[in-house]
Structure 1
Amino acid sequence: MQLPEQPVAGQPDPTDRAEVLKLAHAVESVLLKEMATYHRDEAPLPKVGSTPPVEQPGRASMSAKAVDRNVTILTSSALTAVAGGAVSLVLWTSGHANETVIAWICGGIVGVPVALTLPALALKGLLKGVREAAEAAPAPVTNHFHGTVHHDERTVTSTTRGVIANSRNQLPK
């Protein structure tokens, strides 16, 4: 029996099958290469305790207080620059720009917030210190007794002497 030269209906051509197998092999080899691209760090983790933290690359770490102050400084400087620029632009466009006037206005824009901010910051620090002192103080102890209460104020003195000594501290009756 001879093989037909034309493929049977519904059956793949042998050359197509070989091309499909080549394509499947190429896809599998690419997927295997992609799956193998990983790195596992086998180095032991640092011990928790006295090991100092390692500084990471980039911006230096800051405390929360330093971050708050940094944000305050950056926002106030931006607001000051915008306000001073707006005043200078208005004076320059109106034709009444005088260096002395601009200096006084810009000084007022910088000086007034500083004059208002410094006492507020000092008061904030004072209140924070008062709050911390109040939190550190021991809580008052209040005892409430119901019924008959007898307060005994007698003192006991004892003397112990000898190689084998017994102390019998008993209140006299």
Structure 2
Amino acid sequence: MPVLPEPPAAPAAGQAHLNDQARQLLAAVEDAMRTPTSYRDDSPVPLVGTAPPVAQPGIPPMSARTTEITRAVMYASFATVPPGLVAVAVMVASEHANPTVIGMICAAPAAIAVPILALARLIRRAGQAAPADVHHHYSGPVHQEYSETHTTTKGVWARTNNQP
């Protein structure tokens, strides 16, 4: 074990100046600790006001369509795990496991799903872009009334409520 030298008995040049700075720093820290650093306003908050919304922690809100798509992607990805694991287990057990083949098996569901999803989106957009052709041919006095019907279905057991 090395022996450390004893500290000098007399202060070295400039050491008194450092002690004064240390005392000033400690005094400033103690002064800062005495002053309050936070304040809680317990006054009641108005129910309606002009304050902008505040971002809440957690998952940001999504539209219903985005939520449905996210759920479908999660369920589809969970459905591809068991067949892939079985295929990998069979190849490992037969001692013919090839990393390239395993990669192709794991990528096959995505390689099949991507073109199908692209075609479905293309068909959906084509259907939305096409205007509805409505041709009416009347002979005589006609009273025509058009109202759009909104359908809502709620609950575990479906109850459809059609209202104009």
- Quick check: TM above 0.5? no
TM-score normalised to the size of structure 2?
Answer: 0.44
TM-score normalised to the size of structure 1?
Answer: 0.43
Q: Which has the larger radius of gyration?
A: 1
Q: Highest relative contact order (Cα 8 Å, sep 6+), 1 or 2?
A: 1
